[in-house]
Amino acid sequence: MSNSPAPQSTPVQLRRAVTSSFLGSVIEYYDFLLYATASAVVFSKVFFGNLTPLMATVASFGTFATGYLVRPLGGVVFGHFGDRLGRKRMLVLTMVLMGIASFLIGLLPTYEQVGSLAPLALVVLRMLQGVAVGGEWGGAVLMSAEHATRRRGLWASFTNAGAPFGMVLSTAALSGTAAVVGEEAFLSWGWRVPFLLSVVLLAIGLFVRLKVEETPVFTAAKDEAAPRSAPLMDVLRNHPRTLLLGVGVGLSAFVAQGTLTTYLISYGVGAGFARQDVLNGLTLSSALAVAGIVGWSALSDRVGRRPIVLAGALIMAVYGFVLFPMADTRNVAVLTVALVLGQAVIHPMMYGPLAALYAELFSTRSRYTGASLGYQLAGLGAGLAPLLFAQIRASSGGDGTTVISVVIAGCCLLTVLCAWALKETSHENLTSDAVAVPAGSPTAHPKI
């Protein structure tokens, strides 16, 4: 096994890698989160109009959750080939898959036109979206992290920052279309326009992504003999505790994300807010979240990943009990403040450092698989939380927010315990022979 250092990336390639990762993440999450917003404000009427309003919301969130359920599969499949063939090739494939699936959602017939075939086709395309975004995140993070020679938390965070910026574009596209065409036309055909625009974003993203070179860390590892075991087997056999702790560290960030960006939108509309007012608040908080993610991640390069994540989880555990009373005031300004504090200040503390943290937990030849699997398993929280919370409200007769707040706090407590058990990763060298291990573990497994 060669222990020679990997060739260094040039500043030009680092800039291209970060730009490509950010734009790719923006495009992927524009498509993925466009569905999230649409599921809260449109799909319950368009695809589940035969159900009662409350059950239609549950069904709509169910199709939304489906995309998250298959994301780990996308992480494993694309991670396997990304660890064997390279990061760049897989990122091109994930972008194409996402663009096609989103475009086809924009062409789907409604329930009134084809009956149950409409929601069935919606679920299939949502699954394709989930597979695509499941493979995208890990590769995009590694393109930045493995090109970076310093300030890895900062550069890797641009992939995570792409998610709220994609939310800005998706909510702006939906609300802008609704404002232009009117409520009736929006529910009839206007909601399709933002999905169809995915083709334009796909062309832009591919143009940028194809200019980025493979990461120097993977290029150096590729020259060595490929391991006999599959990357997934390496992760499950050699790093199971690290993987589980990584999932626990990220879980509450995703539960909070699903609460703030999906469930609270539906809750706000149901509480009497105008849909446009809720979407405006979400757009503002999403835009500010970009700065929050980058800022907290840059700080994690100085003080470590764990302190930032721990502080964010503890604050969010308390904030979960304040969030719904603020929404219940039926005051637009108060709801906007609630969204900004939650999504742009507190959530980025938990979410921003995860990009570098997951990359630092695994060795080069299984890093794409390990980072993707850990992140996407934790990401189930964002998909399942809105569905669970909608069911809690349905079973409690339209109340149940205290129970929801308890669930959020419990997930945050799990993150605190897992982050405390994990070794600090900010000083890991991605080209060294050692990998991060949980605190208290006697040794690290050698890199392959």
Residue 42: its H or E element: none
List Cβ neighbours of 42 (8 Å cut-off, separation of 6 or more): 174, 186, 187, 191
Quick check: is 438 in a domain? no
Strand partners, 438: 422
Which is nearest to 122 in space by CA: 59, 52, 203? 59
Write down the pLDDT at residue 446. Answer: 38
Which is nearest to 260 in space by CA: 385, 416, 353? 385
Number of structural domains in the chain: 1
Evaluate if residue 72 carries a pLDDT over 50: yes
* Structural domain that includes position 153: 11-212+229-421
Q: How many CB atoms lie within 10 A of CB 177?
A: 19
CATH of residue 72? 1.20.1250.20
Whole-angstrom Cα Rg for the chain? 21
Write down the pLDDT at residue 412. Answer: 97
Quick check: is 429 in a domain? no
Alpha-carbon distance 408 to 411, whole Å?
5
Give the pLDDT confidence of 378-405 residue by residue, as tens digits: 999 988 898 899 889 888 876 778 999 9
Write down the pLDDT at residue 213. Answer: 85
Share of the chain above pLDDT 70, in %: 89
Write down the pLDDT at residue 113. Answer: 83
| The token pair that represents 110 in the structure block | 């409604």
Which is nearest to 323 in space by CA: 393, 242, 406? 406
Quick check: is 437 in a domain? no
pLDDT band at 8 (very low <50, low <70, confident <90, very high): low
Q: Which pTM value belongs to this model?
A: 0.84
Quick check: is 223 in a domain? no
Q: What is the mean pLDDT of residues 345-356?
A: 96
Q: 35 or 272, which is more confident?
A: 272
Alpha-carbon distance 131 to 70, whole Å?
6
pLDDT band at 307 (very low <50, low <70, confident <90, very high): very high
Quick check: is 254 in a domain? yes
